[in-house]
């Protein structure tokens, strides 16, 4: 009998699985979960089927300094939903007396005003809930005795645990310390002990009262699998449209077979409406060439969707898409398994024809499986709020919620949080690499050993003792960026208020949302859609045409084949660009193959894929395409040059070889991927029996099964690959045909991400596109294309300025006649000295004269040594790299001053070698011309902090261009 807070309370490090395992091992019969929300409940409930512990649930609420444990009775989800609503609205009329028992947790401090508030609360509780108790704790014993005497409310003695084992004490207490903001201690006994130790802590009367208290609480957890479970109501809210839909006399013409139709005329009207919409879309999209197969496929999909009861979901998603298109909100062409649905294509949910690309519906909705549909809607990050607003307006704010998520600490945040508790002001977290995800591995490296030594010298080594334990824990509650729930019965589930939004108090992990009986929708922010939309808007603003997308466009495929796909969706990385150069894609199917193979595991097959594609024929192990026994398998593998690339190929192989329906074949694939031995043996036996019944030889069958088993993990979802390939082609098409507009839009979308912006700026230089430096009058907030086809850098691209300050600057200067820096300075007097220093050094005021002289004329400038006869261009290059990540100043002035062996660095391109080690290419210049130097990882590690654009170097070079060392001019 314990009160437990899990890691989701943000106070302990207790994992639900470890909690149940420990309770089982120690023969603990009852646990009371006391987090401040129901966050762990579904996880515990699912895990507890194996452990069968009596787990009771409560909610801890702190209000006006008074802490209460609310223990629901009966249907816990509905009761806690009402409780959360009561606290949200400060209206407790929805709480019935019989719904809860409540334990007041007394304050340790026995001040009069605190005791008075607690007594008032106890009196209120006695009138409004079934039973009330006071928790008796050692640290607040005096308070609980006073409250008991004055209120007549009985005390309960229940042991609270903060960690499962004494070895976990330090980390768990550190987690609580981080939450409260100061170091906390305990009595070294806040861990789980066997029941006999609990008896030692209590007298017989206390023990029996506590035991009786727990045994009297009856809770029902009604989720999927419970006898009383039902799906939450989700109604399509275009009511007039439904009313107008006529119910057909003959349903079979829509489904091609007899299926069970709901008796409700309202539901029948919705089904009819979906069928009519599908038919209208079908006639728009399919002609006589493929009409027979397409209509059979559509009827099959409709029959599955109606039988499974998902017709309302499809009507709603189609409505979301319709709204977006009507408001010129760009919607993604399709992502995930839904790209294999002809119905989704006919409803305009996706714009990729599944039949053209041989995509399978069964990977989306399997008639043999009870999975719900999951359609992701891709939207521009800048416009996604419009769809959220539409949904809330249409369905009502009480019927729409977001989904909760937990952000974990990670290594760097854990270091920062722990050092703050110890009062360490030094920013030791900056000594570690950004994004570090494995502390132990880092400490084994040379760089890690240096950091470890530095910490030891400073006396900070103890910080690291806590980091691994804290890093994986939840740091804060947040809102899932994509998930949305819509239900007219949402009030039956616990909702919390977060940042002004209603949020379902459960996460997406482990199918929690589905187990509650609600359906989620995912509205995903995709910045690439902002890029494509922005590109077209720039074209329109310039009065230039936007061409129709041509999926056979050779100029676009040339871009892939030349490895110039920087900025192209899913094809930006160096590895992807190299793969494109090897594969030489000439079709959307080739792009699908690249996207599917360029992943850990299948990546090993790329050389064989390239070889087979180049040769024009293939063979693999025993699988000889010319052998008659493999004639049914060969056409399936011909599509991908003999490489099993897609999950759908595995489905087809099982179908043609063993006579499986595609839905059955998908179950086979999933069973193999799950790697459950008992299931695998049963599936193999079934496959062999079905194959032999289908006239196949045993030896060949065993080999085919071996192939299916080997590639089930490797296979990619072909529908997902199709969606990505088409979207990738669209971005490549824009880059090939509108390079200036595309790069401008790309830079604008990434203007607040310095790292991405640098990649695009480098690509602009590589593409020989003219980029103009920021200018007070010519520049706007963002990058723009002028009538000469040049890109004018926006003020927001300057480090330390950003869109907000840039807008203010343009507002202050707007329509003013400014003839000198002095006048500009007066107009911008609202700007801080630091901002003015940045603007000067970035060249924004070059229109008024010499930059160095202007910089010298102001106060509050960044400390800089005097010129001492040096060329100011050296400073300009340094400033531009720091603030603009691009060099506008003329290197020729520097080159003229170089000695015979000296070079100036014009650009640096950091990359990783095949083993993931950092190296770089340097473009360097001298009087005789430019050359490229290769700097391998061992040299780059020693010199990377000393080299930057504009640095004058004397390199030691091996062979043609391999740099082995550098002498840096004026190095201090």
Query: CB-based burial of residue 177 (10 Å sphere; 0-12 exposed, 13-18 middle, 19+ buried)?
Result: buried
Under the banding of pLDDT at 50, 70 and 90, the label for residue 870 is low
- Residues 138-147, mean pLDDT to the nearest whole number: 84
pLDDT band at 629 (very low <50, low <70, confident <90, very high): confident
What CA–CA distance (Å, rounded) separates 443 from 937?
19
* The pLDDT value given to residue 772: 96
Specify the pairing of strand 918-926 against strand 903-912: antiparallel
Q: Which of 778, 788, 908, 747 is nearest to 843 (CA)?
A: 778
Q: pLDDT of 886-908, one tens digit each? A: 989 888 878 888 888 889 888 88
The per-residue pLDDT of the chain, averaged, comes to 90
- 350-359, 726-735, 814-823 — which is least confidently predicted? 814-823
Q: What is the mean pLDDT of residues 637-653?
A: 91
Which of 345, 343, 346, 334 is closest to 365 using CA atoms?
A: 343
* Alpha carbons 795 and 899: distance in angstroms, whole number: 37
Least-confidence region, from 599-603, 730-734, 745-749: 599-603
Q: Is the pLDDT of residue 865 over 70?
A: no
**Contacts of 588 by beta carbon, 8 Å cutoff, 6+ apart:** 357, 551, 722, 725, 726, 729
Residue with the larger pLDDT of the pair 860 and 602: 602
* Predicted pLDDT of residue 815: 76
Q: What confidence category does residue 941 fall into, taking pLDDT thresholds of 50, 70 and 90?
A: confident
DSSP character at residue 438: -
Residue 860 has a pLDDT of 59
- Predicted local distance difference test score (pLDDT) of residue 565: 95
228 token code pair: 């009383």
Per-residue confidence (pLDDT) for residue 751, from 0 to 100: 95
Spatial separation of the C-alpha atoms in residues 353 and 529, rounded to whole Å: 20
Sequential DSSP letters for 713-773: TT-B-HHHHHHHHHHHHHHHHHHHH-HHHHHHHHHHHTTT-HHHHHHHHHHHHHTT--EEP
Instruction: Quote the pLDDT of residue 79.
Output: 96
- What average pLDDT score do residues 741-756 get? 95
What is the number of alpha carbons within 13 Å of residue 715 lying toward its C-beta?
25
Whether the CB-CB separation of 13 and 165 falls below 8 Å is answered with no
Q: Average pLDDT of 845-868?
A: 77
Distances (CA, A) of 670 to 602, 609, 667, 687: 18, 25, 5, 14
State the burial class of residue 697 (Cβ atoms within 10 Å of its Cβ: 0-12, 13-18, 19+): exposed
Is residue 748 within 8 Å of residue 586, measured between CB atoms? no
Q: Evaluate whether 68 touches 103 at the Cβ level (below 8 Å).
A: yes
pLDDT of 593: 96
Q: Which residue has the higher pLDDT, 72 or 868?
A: 72
Q: Identify the residue whose tokens are 């002498």.
A: 967
Residue 624 has pLDDT above 70, yes or no: yes
The answer to whether 588 and 551 are in contact (CB under 8 A) is: yes
> Can you give the pLDDT at residue 864?
54
**Helix or strand holding residue 920 (H, E):** strand 918-926
Q: Per the structure block, which two tokens stand in for 12?
A: 């302990």
Calculate mean pLDDT across residues 787-795.
95
The values of phi and psi at residue 111, to 5°, are: -70, 150
Q: What's the distance, CA 116 to chain centroid?
A: 48
Contact between 740 and 769 under an 8 Å Cβ cutoff? The reply is yes
What is the reported pLDDT for 51? 93
Cβ neighbors of 938 (< 8 A, separation 6 or more) are none
Q: What is the tens place of the pLDDT at every residue in 428-479?
A: 999 998 889 899 999 998 889 999 999 999 999 999 999 999 999 999 999 9
Q: Which of 918, 941, 914 is nearest to 447 (CA)?
A: 941
Cβ contacts of residue 738 below 8 Å, gap of 6+? 535, 538, 539, 544
Residue 767's CB: how many other CB atoms inside 10 A?
15
**What integer pLDDT is reported at residue 500 of this predicted model?**
87
Three-state DSSP state, 461 = helix
Question: 3-state class of 935 per DSSP?
Answer: strand
Could you read off the pLDDT of 250-309 as tens digits, one per residue?
898 899 899 999 999 999 999 999 999 999 999 999 987 778 899 999 999 999 999 999
| Cα–Cα distance measured from residue 819 to residue 750, given in angstroms and rounded to the nearest whole number | 33
Residue in this structure with the two tokens 């559509």, named with its chain if needed: 298
> What pLDDT does 869 receive?
62
Q: Look at residues 491, 489, 483 and name the one whose alpha carbon lies nearest to residue 512.
A: 483
Q: Tell whether the model's pLDDT for residue 200 goes beyond 70.
A: no
Q: Model confidence over 811-823: pLDDT tens digits?
A: 998 878 888 999 9
Whether the pLDDT of residue 674 is over 70: the answer is yes
The residue ranking higher by pLDDT, 714 or 586, is 586
Residues listed for the chain: 972
Mean pLDDT, range 409-426, rounded to an integer:
94
Placement of tokens 């959220």 in the chain: 388
Give every strand in the sheet of 159-161, ordered side by side: 54-57, 30-33, 2-4, 159-161
- Residue 157 confidence (pLDDT): 87
Nearest to 794 by CA among 742, 757, 832, 823: 757
Over 90: is that where the pLDDT of 588 sits? yes
pLDDT above 90: residue 536: yes
Token code pair at residue 802: 């950003």
Would you say residue 242 has pLDDT above 60? yes
Say if residues 3 and 32 touch (Cβ distance below 8 Å): yes
Return the SS3 of 411.
helix
C-beta of residue 508 within 8 angstroms of C-beta of residue 483: yes
Residue 83 · residue 495 · CB < 8 Å: no
% residues pLDDT > 70 (the chain): 97
Q: Average pLDDT of 836-849?
A: 93
- Whether residue 725 contacts residue 592, with contact meaning beta carbons closer than 8 Å, is answered with yes
pLDDT band at 972 (very low <50, low <70, confident <90, very high): low
Residue 390: enclosing H or E segment and its boundaries? helix 384-395
Structure tokens, 540: 């329109």
State residue 655 phi and psi, 5-degree precision.
Answer: -70, -50
pTM of the model as a whole:
0.87
What is the tens place of the pLDDT at every residue in 206-227? 888 888 899 999 999 999 989 9
Report yes or no: 460 and 416 within 8 Å, Cβ to Cβ.
no
pLDDT tens for each residue of 41-56:
999 999 999 999 999 9
Which residues, in sequence order, are CB contacts of 231 under 8 Å at separation 6+?
Answer: 309, 517, 518
Residue 344 has pLDDT above 90, yes or no: yes
Percent of the chain with pLDDT over 90: 64
> Do 844 and 779 touch, CB atoms closer than 8 A?
yes
Q: What share of the chain is helix, strand, coil (3-state, %, to 5)?
A: 50, 15, 35
Whether 711 shows a pLDDT value over 90: the answer reads no
In this prediction, residues 605-631 reach a mean pLDDT of 88
CA 7 to chain centre: 22
Burial class (CB in 10 A: 0-12, 13-18, 19+), 316: buried
Residues 886 and 880 sit within 8 Å (Cβ to Cβ):
yes
- Taking the mean position of all CA atoms in its chain, how far away is CA 473? 18
pLDDT-derived band at 646, boundaries 50, 70, 90: very high
pLDDT at residue 559, as a whole number: 97
Q: How confident is the model at residue 861 (pLDDT cuts 50, 70, 90)?
A: low
């Amino acid at each position: 009998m314990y009160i437990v807070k899990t890691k989701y309370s943000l106070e302990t490090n207790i994992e639900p699985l470890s909690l149940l395992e420990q309770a089982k091992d120690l023969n603990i019969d009852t646990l009371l979960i006391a987090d401040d929300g129901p966050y762990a409940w579904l996880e515990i409930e699912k895990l507890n089927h194996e452990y069968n512990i009596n787990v009771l649930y409560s909610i801890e609420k702190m209000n006006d300094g008074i802490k209460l444990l609310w223990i629901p009775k009966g249907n816990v989800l509905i009761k806690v939903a009402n409780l959360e609503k009561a606290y949200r609205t400060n209206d407790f009329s929805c709480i019935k007396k019989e719904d809860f028992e409540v334990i007041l947790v007394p304050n340790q401090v026995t001040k009069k005003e605190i005791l008075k508030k607690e007594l008032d609360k106890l009196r209120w509780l006695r009138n409004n809930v079934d039973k009330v108790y006071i928790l008796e704790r050692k640290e607040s014993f005096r308070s609980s005795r006073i409250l008991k005497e004055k209120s007549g409310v009985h005390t309960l003695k229940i042991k609270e645990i903060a960690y499962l084992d004494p070895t976990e004490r330090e980390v768990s207490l550190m987690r609580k310390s981080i939450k409260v903001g100061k170091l906390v201690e305990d009595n070294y006994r806040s861990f789980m002990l066997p029941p006999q130790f609990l008896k030692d802590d209590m007298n017989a009367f206390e023990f029996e009262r506590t035991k009786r208290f727990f045994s009297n609480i009856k809770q029902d957890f009604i989720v999927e699998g419970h006898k009383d479970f039902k799906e939450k109501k989700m109604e399509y809210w275009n009511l007039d449209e439904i009313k107008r839909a006529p119910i057909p006399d003959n349903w079979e013409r829509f489904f091609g077979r007899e299926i069970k139709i709901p008796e409700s005329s309202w539901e029948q009207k919705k089904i009819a409406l979906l069928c009519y919409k599908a038919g209208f879309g079908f006639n728009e999209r399919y002609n006589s060439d493929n009409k027979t197969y397409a209509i059979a496929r559509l009827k099959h999909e409709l029959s599955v969707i109606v039988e499974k009861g998902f017709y309302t979901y499809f009507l709603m998603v189609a409505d979301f898409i319709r709204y977006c298109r009507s408001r010129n909100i760009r919607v993604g062409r399709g992502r995930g398994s839904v790209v294999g649905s002809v119905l989704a294509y006919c409803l305009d949910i996706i714009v990729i024809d599944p039949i053209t690309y041989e995509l399978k519906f069964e990977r989306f909705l399997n008639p043999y499986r009870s999975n719900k549909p999951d359609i992701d809607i891709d939207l521009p990050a800048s416009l996604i709020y419009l769809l959220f607003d539409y949904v809330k307006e249409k369905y009502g704010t009480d019927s729409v919620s977001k989904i909760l998520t937990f952000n974990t600490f990670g290594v760097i945040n854990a270091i920062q949080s722990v050092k703050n508790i110890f009062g360490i002001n030094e920013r030791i977290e900056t000594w570690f690499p950004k994004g570090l995800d494995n502390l132990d591995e880092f400490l084994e490296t040379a760089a890690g050993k240096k950091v470890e030594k530095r910490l030891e010298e400073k006396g900070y080594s103890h910080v690291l003792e806590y980091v691994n334990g804290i890093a994986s824990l939840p740091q804060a509650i947040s809102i899932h960026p994509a998930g949305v729930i819509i239900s007219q019965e949402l009030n039956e589930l616990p909702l919390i208020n977060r940042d002004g939004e209603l949020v379902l108090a459960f996460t997406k992990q482990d199918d929690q949302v589905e187990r509650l009986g609600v359906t989620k929708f995912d509205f995903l922010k995709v910045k690439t859609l902002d890029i494509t939309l922005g590109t077209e808007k720039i074209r329109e603003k310039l009065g230039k045409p936007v061409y129709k997308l041509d999926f056979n466009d050779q100029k676009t495929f040339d871009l892939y084949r030349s490895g110039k796909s920087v900025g192209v969706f899913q094809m930006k990385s160096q590895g992807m660009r190299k793969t494109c150069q090897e594969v030489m894609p000439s079709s959307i199917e080739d792009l699908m193959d690249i996207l599917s193979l360029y992943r850990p595991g299948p990546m090993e097959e790329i050389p064989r894929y390239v070889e087979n594609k180049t040769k024009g024929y293939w063979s693999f192990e025993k699988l000889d395409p010319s052998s008659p026994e493999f004639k049914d398998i060969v056409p399936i593998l011909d599509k991908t040059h003999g490489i099993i690339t897609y999950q759908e190929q595995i489905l087809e192989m099982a179908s043609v070889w063993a006579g499986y329906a595609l839905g059955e074949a998908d179950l086979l694939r999933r069973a193999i991927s799950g790697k459950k031995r008992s299931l695998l043996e049963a599936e193999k036996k079934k496959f062999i029996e079905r194959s032999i019944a289908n006239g196949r030889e045993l030896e060949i069958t065993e080999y085919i099964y071996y192939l299916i088993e080997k590639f089930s993990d490797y296979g990619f979802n072909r529908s997902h690959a199709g969606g990505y390939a088409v979207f990738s082609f669209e971005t490549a098409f824009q880059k090939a045909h509108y390079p200036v507009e595309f790069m401008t839009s790309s830079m604008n979308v990434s203007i607040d991400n310095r790292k991405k912006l640098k990649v695009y700026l480098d690509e602009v230089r590589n593409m020989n596109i003219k980029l103009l430096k920021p200018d007070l009058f010519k520049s706007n907030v963002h990058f723009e294309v002028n009538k000469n086809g040049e890109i004018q850098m926006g003020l927001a691209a300057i480090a330390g300025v950003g869109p907000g300050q840039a807008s203010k600057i343009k507002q202050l200067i707007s329509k003013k006649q400014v003839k000198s820096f002095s006048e500009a300075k007066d107009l911008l007097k609202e700007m801080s000295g630091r901002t003015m220093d940045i603007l000067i050094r970035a060249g924004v005021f070059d229109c008024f004269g010499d930059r160095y002289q202007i910089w010298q004329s102001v106060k509050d400038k960044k400390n800089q040594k005097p010129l001492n006869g040096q060329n100011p261009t050296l400073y300009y290059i340094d400033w531009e790299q720091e603030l603009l990540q691009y060099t506008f100043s003329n290197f020729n002035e520097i080159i003229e001053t170089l000695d015979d062996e000296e070079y100036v660095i014009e650009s640096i391109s950091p990359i990783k070698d095949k083993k993931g080690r950092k190296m770089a290419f340097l473009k360097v210049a001298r009087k005789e011309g430019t050359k490229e130097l290769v700097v391998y990882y061992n040299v780059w590690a020693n010199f990377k902090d000393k080299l930057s654009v504009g640095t004058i170097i004397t390199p030691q070079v091996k062979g043609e261009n391999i740099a082995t060392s550098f002498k840096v001019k004026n190095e201090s």
